[in-house]
C-alpha cells in the first residue's frame, strides 16, 4: 500500500508539471500592442506666389520649386510679394510603422471678395510613408494651379484635405 501511494504521488506530480508547462505556452501567445493614434498637422501652407493673369498652369513641386506652362507670367516681386512654397506637414504616431497619404483629387481656390475661382489638382507629396524611431515624419505637398485667360487679379484662397492612416 505504501508503494502504491508513492507511485500515485509521483504520477500526480508529473501531471501537475505538464499542466503548468502547457499553461505558460498559451499565455505567451496572448500578447497585445496598443498603437499610438496617428495624427497630422499642417506646418506651412501651399503658396503659389504672385502670378500675372493669363492662361497658365503653375506647378509647385514638393521641393518648393515653381514652374509654369507660361513662365513669363511668373512673378517674384521685390517688395510686398508672396513667396512660393510647398505645403509642409508633420505626422506623429507609433514608431517605425508605415502609413499612407491620401489627398483630395482637386480643390477650389476662391478670390477674396468674390469674382472668380481657380482649380488646383495633381497633388504630389514626398512622404517616405514610414514613421521614424521617434514616431515622427514630415513631408511636403505640391500641386498644379490652373489660371484662366481672363482671370480676375486678386488673392485666391482655398482648402484641401490630407489624410494619413496606418498601412
Partner 1 sequence: MTEENFKKTSVKNKLTFFLIFGLLFTGLSLEYTYAIDPDPVNGSSVQASATAELIEALSVTEVTQLNFGRFTSGTSGGTIVVANTATGTVNVTGTVVTVNDGSPCSALFRALGQPNAALTIALPAAGTVNLNHIGSNNTMNIASFTVSDDTPTLNAYGEAIVYVGATLTVPNTDIAKGIYSGIYNITFTYQ
- Rounded CA-CA distance 166/99 in Å is 4
Nearer to partner 1, 33 or 133 (CB): 33
Q: Which of 102, 110, 104, 120 is nearest to 57 (CA)?
A: 120
Would you say 54 and 106 are in contact if contact means Cβ atoms under 8 Å apart? no
Report the nearest approach of partner 1 to the CB of residue 1 (Å): 12
Report the nearest approach of partner 1 to the CB of residue 52 (Å): 5
- Rounded CA-CA distance 29/89 in Å is 38
Nearer to partner 1, 62 or 164 (CB): 164
Report the nearest approach of partner 1 to the CB of residue 120 (Å): 6
> How many Cα atoms occupy the beta-carbon half-sphere of 159 within 13 Å?
3
Nearer to partner 1, 127 or 164 (CB): 164
Question: Per the structure block, which three cell numbers stand in for 68?
Answer: 509654369
Nearer to partner 1, 16 or 95 (CB): 16
Nearer to partner 1, 26 or 105 (CB): 26
> How many Cα atoms occupy the beta-carbon half-sphere of 108 within 13 Å?
6
Count CB-CB contacts under 10 A for residue 120: 22
Q: Which residue has the cell 482637386?
A: 106
Strands 117-125 and 74-75: unpaired
Report the nearest approach of partner 1 to the CB of residue 13 (Å): 10
Report the nearest approach of partner 1 to the CB of residue 49 (Å): 7
Amino acid at each position: 500500500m505504501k508503494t502504491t501511494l508513492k507511485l500515485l504521488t509521483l504520477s500526480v506530480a508529473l501531471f501537475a508539471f505538464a499542466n503548468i508547462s502547457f499553461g505558460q505556452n498559451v499565455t505567451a501567445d496572448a500578447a497585445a500592442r496598443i498603437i499610438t493614434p496617428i495624427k497630422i498637422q499642417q506646418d506651412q501652407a501651399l503658396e503659389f506666389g504672385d502670378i500675372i493673369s493669363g492662361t497658365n498652369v503653375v506647378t509647385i513641386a514638393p521641393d518648393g520649386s515653381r514652374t509654369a506652362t507660361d513662365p513669363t507670367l511668373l512673378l517674384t516681386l521685390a517688395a510686398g510679394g508672396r513667396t512660393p512654397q510647398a505645403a509642409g506637414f508633420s505626422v506623429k504616431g507609433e514608431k517605425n510603422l508605415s502609413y499612407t497619404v491620401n489627398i483630395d483629387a482637386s480643390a477650389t481656390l476662391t478670390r477674396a471678395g468674390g469674382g472668380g475661382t481657380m482649380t488646383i489638382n495633381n497633388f504630389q507629396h514626398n512622404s517616405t510613408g514610414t514613421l521614424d524611431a521617434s514616431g515622427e515624419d514630415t513631408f511636403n505637398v505640391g500641386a498644379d494651379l490652373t489660371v484662366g485667360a481672363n482671370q480676375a487679379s486678386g488673392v485666391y484662397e482655398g482648402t484641401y484635405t490630407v489624410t494619413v492612416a496606418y498601412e
